[in-house]
Amino acid sequence: MDRRVVAEFFATATMVAGGCWSVAQGHSALVVSAVFGGLVTLMILIAGPVSGAHINPAVSIALCRDGRLEPHLLGAYMCAQLTGGIVAALLTGGAGPTLPSPSVHVMEAFAVEVVITMLLMASILWVINRTSDMRVIAGVVGLTVGVLAFSTGHLTGASMNPARTVGPNLLNGAWWSLPMYWTSTTLGAWLAVDLKRAMAGAVKRSS
Protein backbone atom coordinates (compact mmCIF):
# COMPACT_ATOMS: atom_id res chain seq x y z
CA MET A 1 0.00 0.00 0.00
CA ASP A 2 1.16 3.52 -0.79
CA ARG A 3 2.91 4.96 2.29
CA ARG A 4 1.18 8.29 1.69
CA VAL A 5 -2.22 6.65 2.10
CA VAL A 6 -1.07 4.85 5.24
CA ALA A 7 0.17 8.15 6.65
CA GLU A 8 -3.22 9.78 6.03
CA PHE A 9 -4.98 6.93 7.83
CA PHE A 10 -2.80 7.07 10.94
CA ALA A 11 -2.66 10.86 11.09
CA THR A 12 -6.43 11.17 10.84
CA ALA A 13 -7.07 8.36 13.31
CA THR A 14 -4.68 9.90 15.82
CA MET A 15 -6.16 13.38 15.50
CA VAL A 16 -9.77 12.21 15.82
CA ALA A 17 -9.06 9.74 18.63
CA GLY A 18 -7.06 12.23 20.68
CA GLY A 19 -9.50 15.06 20.20
CA CYS A 20 -12.56 12.95 20.94
CA TRP A 21 -10.83 11.42 23.95
CA SER A 22 -10.45 14.94 25.37
CA VAL A 23 -14.20 15.41 24.90
CA ALA A 24 -14.89 12.12 26.69
CA GLN A 25 -12.79 13.30 29.64
CA GLY A 26 -15.11 16.26 30.09
CA HIS A 27 -12.48 18.91 29.43
CA SER A 28 -13.45 22.51 28.79
CA ALA A 29 -14.02 23.87 25.31
CA LEU A 30 -10.66 25.64 25.52
CA VAL A 31 -8.80 22.44 26.35
CA VAL A 32 -10.62 20.39 23.71
CA SER A 33 -9.88 23.03 21.06
CA ALA A 34 -6.24 23.14 22.12
CA VAL A 35 -6.00 19.35 21.92
CA PHE A 36 -7.43 19.27 18.40
CA GLY A 37 -5.20 22.13 17.30
CA GLY A 38 -2.14 20.60 18.94
CA LEU A 39 -2.77 17.20 17.37
CA VAL A 40 -3.20 18.74 13.94
CA THR A 41 0.14 20.50 14.45
CA LEU A 42 1.82 17.28 15.54
CA MET A 43 0.36 15.20 12.72
CA ILE A 44 1.49 17.73 10.13
CA LEU A 45 5.00 17.58 11.55
CA ILE A 46 5.00 13.78 11.48
CA ALA A 47 2.98 12.93 8.38
CA GLY A 48 3.46 16.13 6.40
CA PRO A 49 6.77 15.08 4.81
CA VAL A 50 5.15 11.80 3.73
CA SER A 51 1.62 12.64 2.55
CA GLY A 52 1.17 16.35 3.12
CA ALA A 53 -0.95 15.49 6.18
CA HIS A 54 -4.29 16.60 4.76
CA ILE A 55 -6.16 14.68 7.51
CA ASN A 56 -9.38 15.93 5.93
CA PRO A 57 -11.30 14.89 2.79
CA ALA A 58 -12.46 18.46 2.15
CA VAL A 59 -8.85 19.64 2.22
CA SER A 60 -7.79 16.86 -0.15
CA ILE A 61 -10.55 17.79 -2.60
CA ALA A 62 -9.48 21.44 -2.53
CA LEU A 63 -5.78 20.64 -2.88
CA CYS A 64 -6.54 18.33 -5.79
CA ARG A 65 -8.49 21.15 -7.45
CA ASP A 66 -5.55 23.47 -6.79
CA GLY A 67 -3.17 21.04 -8.48
CA ARG A 68 -1.38 20.02 -5.29
CA LEU A 69 -2.64 16.42 -5.14
CA GLU A 70 -2.58 13.98 -8.02
CA PRO A 71 -6.18 13.13 -9.00
CA HIS A 72 -5.50 9.40 -8.90
CA LEU A 73 -4.65 9.70 -5.18
CA LEU A 74 -7.77 11.62 -4.17
CA GLY A 75 -10.04 8.60 -3.67
CA ALA A 76 -7.38 6.69 -1.73
CA TYR A 77 -6.67 9.69 0.51
CA MET A 78 -10.36 10.17 1.26
CA CYS A 79 -10.93 6.49 2.03
CA ALA A 80 -7.91 6.45 4.34
CA GLN A 81 -9.07 9.58 6.16
CA LEU A 82 -12.66 8.38 6.60
CA THR A 83 -11.53 4.93 7.71
CA GLY A 84 -9.13 6.51 10.18
CA GLY A 85 -11.91 8.66 11.59
CA ILE A 86 -14.25 5.68 11.98
CA VAL A 87 -11.57 3.57 13.67
CA ALA A 88 -10.85 6.44 16.05
CA ALA A 89 -14.55 6.75 16.88
CA LEU A 90 -14.74 3.04 17.65
CA LEU A 91 -11.70 3.31 19.93
CA THR A 92 -13.22 6.23 21.83
CA GLY A 93 -16.76 4.84 22.04
CA GLY A 94 -18.25 7.47 19.74
CA ALA A 95 -17.27 10.36 21.98
CA GLY A 96 -17.43 13.89 20.65
CA PRO A 97 -20.02 13.94 17.87
CA THR A 98 -20.34 17.25 16.04
CA LEU A 99 -23.94 18.43 16.14
CA PRO A 100 -25.63 21.82 15.78
CA SER A 101 -26.68 23.47 19.00
CA PRO A 102 -30.45 23.22 19.61
CA SER A 103 -30.60 27.01 19.32
CA VAL A 104 -28.96 26.98 15.87
CA HIS A 105 -31.05 26.35 12.77
CA VAL A 106 -29.63 23.77 10.39
CA MET A 107 -29.10 26.41 7.69
CA GLU A 108 -27.24 28.59 10.16
CA ALA A 109 -25.09 25.61 11.07
CA PHE A 110 -24.46 24.98 7.38
CA ALA A 111 -23.33 28.58 6.90
CA VAL A 112 -21.04 28.43 9.94
CA GLU A 113 -19.36 25.27 8.67
CA VAL A 114 -18.92 26.75 5.19
CA VAL A 115 -17.26 29.87 6.60
CA ILE A 116 -14.94 28.18 9.10
CA THR A 117 -13.86 25.52 6.62
CA MET A 118 -13.19 28.23 4.05
CA LEU A 119 -11.07 30.10 6.60
CA LEU A 120 -9.18 26.92 7.49
CA MET A 121 -8.54 26.10 3.83
CA ALA A 122 -7.56 29.69 3.11
CA SER A 123 -4.99 29.53 5.91
CA ILE A 124 -3.59 26.31 4.42
CA LEU A 125 -3.32 27.78 0.93
CA TRP A 126 -1.83 31.00 2.29
CA VAL A 127 0.95 29.32 4.25
CA ILE A 128 1.89 26.63 1.71
CA ASN A 129 2.17 29.32 -0.97
CA ARG A 130 4.73 31.11 1.17
CA THR A 131 6.87 28.39 2.71
CA SER A 132 7.69 24.72 2.58
CA ASP A 133 8.92 24.72 6.18
CA MET A 134 6.73 22.08 7.81
CA ARG A 135 7.17 23.68 11.23
CA VAL A 136 5.64 26.93 10.04
CA ILE A 137 2.86 25.16 8.16
CA ALA A 138 2.05 23.00 11.19
CA GLY A 139 1.98 26.00 13.51
CA VAL A 140 -0.28 28.13 11.31
CA VAL A 141 -2.76 25.36 10.48
CA GLY A 142 -2.86 23.96 14.02
CA LEU A 143 -3.45 27.40 15.50
CA THR A 144 -6.20 28.09 12.97
CA VAL A 145 -7.94 24.82 13.84
CA GLY A 146 -7.73 25.56 17.55
CA VAL A 147 -9.05 29.12 17.25
CA LEU A 148 -11.91 28.18 14.93
CA ALA A 149 -12.87 25.19 17.07
CA PHE A 150 -12.97 27.31 20.22
CA SER A 151 -14.89 30.18 18.64
CA THR A 152 -17.61 28.11 16.92
CA GLY A 153 -17.65 24.75 18.67
CA HIS A 154 -20.65 25.77 20.74
CA LEU A 155 -22.62 26.42 17.53
CA THR A 156 -21.92 23.39 15.34
CA GLY A 157 -19.20 21.33 17.01
CA ALA A 158 -16.76 22.99 14.57
CA SER A 159 -16.29 20.01 12.31
CA MET A 160 -14.45 21.55 9.33
CA ASN A 161 -13.67 17.94 8.44
CA PRO A 162 -15.94 15.07 7.30
CA ALA A 163 -13.45 12.52 8.65
CA ARG A 164 -13.65 14.07 12.12
CA THR A 165 -17.46 13.90 12.07
CA VAL A 166 -18.49 10.69 10.30
CA GLY A 167 -17.42 8.15 12.94
CA PRO A 168 -18.71 9.79 16.12
CA ASN A 169 -21.95 10.88 14.48
CA LEU A 170 -22.68 7.43 13.03
CA LEU A 171 -22.01 5.74 16.36
CA ASN A 172 -24.41 8.17 18.02
CA GLY A 173 -27.15 7.56 15.45
CA ALA A 174 -26.80 11.05 14.04
CA TRP A 175 -26.53 9.87 10.45
CA TRP A 176 -29.01 12.58 9.46
CA SER A 177 -26.38 15.25 10.14
CA LEU A 178 -23.75 13.85 7.77
CA PRO A 179 -25.04 15.34 4.48
CA MET A 180 -24.98 18.81 6.04
CA TYR A 181 -21.45 18.45 7.38
CA TRP A 182 -20.17 16.81 4.20
CA THR A 183 -21.56 19.44 1.84
CA SER A 184 -20.79 22.47 3.99
CA THR A 185 -17.16 21.57 4.66
CA THR A 186 -16.52 20.57 1.05
CA LEU A 187 -18.13 23.78 -0.20
CA GLY A 188 -16.09 25.86 2.22
CA ALA A 189 -12.81 24.31 1.09
CA TRP A 190 -13.84 24.66 -2.57
CA LEU A 191 -14.65 28.35 -2.10
CA ALA A 192 -11.22 28.95 -0.54
CA VAL A 193 -9.64 27.86 -3.82
CA ASP A 194 -11.96 30.24 -5.69
CA LEU A 195 -10.94 33.02 -3.29
CA LYS A 196 -7.25 32.30 -3.89
CA ARG A 197 -7.74 32.43 -7.66
CA ALA A 198 -9.78 35.63 -7.49
CA MET A 199 -7.12 37.34 -5.37
CA ALA A 200 -4.34 36.15 -7.67
CA GLY A 201 -6.29 37.49 -10.65
CA ALA A 202 -6.82 40.84 -8.96
CA VAL A 203 -3.11 41.15 -8.18
CA LYS A 204 -2.20 40.24 -11.76
CA ARG A 205 -4.60 42.83 -13.19
CA SER A 206 -3.28 45.56 -10.93
CA SER A 207 0.37 44.89 -11.75
d(CA 190, CA 140): 20
* Predicted local distance difference test score (pLDDT) of residue 203: 81
Per residue in 9-35, pLDDT (tens digit) is 999 999 999 999 999 999 999 999 999
d(CA 19, CA 84): 13
* Predicted local distance difference test score (pLDDT) of residue 65: 97
* Predicted local distance difference test score (pLDDT) of residue 34: 98
Per residue in 99-151, pLDDT (tens digit) is 999 999 999 999 999 999 999 999 999 999 999 999 999 999 999 999 999 99
Task: Report how far Cα 27 is from the mean position of its chain's Cα atoms.
Answer: 21
Beta-carbon count within 10 A of 59 CB: 30
User: How does DSSP classify residue 67?
Assistant: T
Overall average pLDDT of the 70-98 stretch: 97
- Cβ-based neighbours of 34, under 8 Å, separated by 6 or more: 146, 150
* Predicted local distance difference test score (pLDDT) of residue 1: 72
Q: Which domains does the chain have, with CATH numbers?
A: 3-206 (1.20.1080.10)
Per residue in 37-66, pLDDT (tens digit) is 999 999 999 999 999 999 999 999 999 999
Q: Is the pLDDT of residue 207 over 80?
A: no
Whether the CB-CB separation of 196 and 122 falls below 8 Å is answered with yes
pTM: 0.96
Report how far apart, in Å, the C-alpha atoms of 160 and of each of 70, 115, 165, 183 are: 22, 9, 9, 11
Overall average pLDDT of the 195-203 stretch: 89
Tally of CA atoms within 13 A in the half-sphere of 34 that contains its CB: 5
